[in-house]
Amino acid sequence: MGRALGLCLLALLSLHTTFTQHADVLIFCDDPTVDKAVTSALNKFNEEVVTGTKLALYQVTFASKAENGSYSLRFTTRRSDCPAFDAKPWTDCDYLPIDKKPIKCNATVHINETDTDTEHIECLIEDLAPHLKAPCLGCPEDIDENSEDLKAPLSLSISKYNTESDHTHLFTLNEMGPATRQVVAGFRFKFTFDMRRTNCAKAEHKDLLKKCVADQDNVELANCNATVDTAPWRQEMPNVNIECESGPMSHTILTRRRPPGWSPLRNQLPQGSAPSPQMPSPTIPSPPKASKSSGKEESSEEDLAKPSVSPDASPFHCPSKPWKPFVPVLVGSAATDAPVFNLDVKLSIIICSAATNSSVTADPTVTQRDTV
């Protein structure tokens, strides 16, 4: 029993010694050896990239060293203005001002007295190319709620409601909601709106007239979802379908009040018509003023060019200071003279190296290069 217990303790001690010997030690992110290791890793990465642009270092965020001379690194990069096929090293390049967020990378680099070898590097490049949206032929497109194109479909929808509803009074437009137009075998309009009861009784008035205004004493609302198919060139009557219910239009839908004089009756309503009641605007509390220690808000474009954490915030100076200052393109500013390259929308490149043979495996979203 004692012999077995002794062997167990000896095994645990040996295991503890093994883990202690191979434990990584945190080192400074701005250490010259770390800079040497990151340079080697990025050189290896850029050698394998054949399209787009080279990556350039931005900040080192983590660094550790094992007893065998292996460095584990985490750092951020940015696209440079040097094409992938350019012989110029990335250290002579500048940043492209198009990337709001830096690109995260991690690498393992082995350094000894005579050689620096990048064993592994991985960088995730995601959603950095400008989103170019091709027009969708035949798809619904949003149109302005006050568009002239909506007057006829809206007037037909209100007329259909007044004709088919069992209400004793006629209704007129109150609020207009979202609207779309789609090219089918003609034009298909889809929109949401609500109406308000007028002072005109159906028994006395068949259609809406100038004197039919919103009834201030009896406020009743109805809301509808309408689909109207039109083809004026075929000289056919529009096909109108509406689904209506009592009550105002849902306030979760953004509505826009019609401008003065805009009406499905084409200015037949008097300008002195009583305005429709509006919901009070929600009160938005003003954000508290940031103290000096909190810095600027992260939402500004200027802040994206600055490191998120001060180098002095960590005892190991992590993240390090930016390799170069980054100046992003501000919204609405003039286009820069930076060259435009073929940018991949989403790419994760993993590069591993060891001794002799190499193999490359391609995937629609992941390109992996391994050296066995």
Lowest mean pLDDT among 8-22, 51-65, 201-215: 8-22
Q: For residue range 248-261, what is the model confidence (pLDDT) as tens digits?
A: 887 654 444 454 55
- How high is the pLDDT of residue 264? 52
Q: Which CATH fold topology does 141-246 show?
A: Nuclear Transport Factor 2; Chain: A, (3.10.450)
CA distance 155 to 152: 5
Q: At residue 138, does pLDDT exceed 70?
A: yes
CA distance 96 to 339: 9
Q: At residue 193, does pLDDT exceed 70?
A: yes
Please say whether the beta carbons of 193 and 154 come within 8 A.
yes
Mean pLDDT of 233-256: 78
- Of the two residues 348 and 204, the one the predictor is more confident about is 204
- How high is the pLDDT of residue 344? 41
- How high is the pLDDT of residue 18? 46
* % of residues, the chain, pLDDT over 90: 34
- How high is the pLDDT of residue 52? 84
350 band by pLDDT with thresholds 50, 70 and 90? low
- How high is the pLDDT of residue 39? 94
- Of the two residues 362 and 325, the one the predictor is more confident about is 325
Q: What is the number of alpha carbons within 13 Å of residue 189 lying toward its C-beta?
A: 28
241 band by pLDDT with thresholds 50, 70 and 90? very high
Q: Specify the amino acid at residue 154.
A: L
- How high is the pLDDT of residue 302? 45
Q: At residue 327, does pLDDT exceed 70?
A: yes
Please say whether the beta carbons of 332 and 350 come within 8 A.
no
In the chain, which segments carry CATH 3.10.450.10?
141-246
Q: What is the number of alpha carbons within 13 Å of residue 185 lying toward its C-beta?
A: 4
Q: At residue 313, does pLDDT exceed 50?
A: yes
60 band by pLDDT with thresholds 50, 70 and 90? very high
If you search the block for the tokens 């501000």, which residue do you land on? Answer: 330
Q: For residue range 66-123, what is the model confidence (pLDDT) as tens digits?
A: 988 899 999 999 999 999 888 889 999 999 887 778 999 999 999 988 889 999 999 8
Report the chain's mean pLDDT, rounded to a whole number: 73
Please list the residues that pair with 179 across neighbouring strands.
143, 191
> If we measure between CA atoms, which residue out of 347, 361, 351 comes closest to residue 118?
351
Q: At residue 343, does pLDDT exceed 60?
A: no
CA distance 285 to 93: 46
- How high is the pLDDT of residue 224? 93
* % of residues, the chain, pLDDT over 70: 62
Please say whether the beta carbons of 66 and 72 come within 8 A.
yes
Tell if the pTM clears 0.85, that is, is over it. Answer: no
- How high is the pLDDT of residue 329? 65
Lowest mean pLDDT among 37-51, 106-120, 127-141, 257-271: 257-271
- Of the two residues 228 and 126, the one the predictor is more confident about is 228
- Residue 319: phi and psi, rounded to 5, are -75, 160
- How high is the pLDDT of residue 146? 86
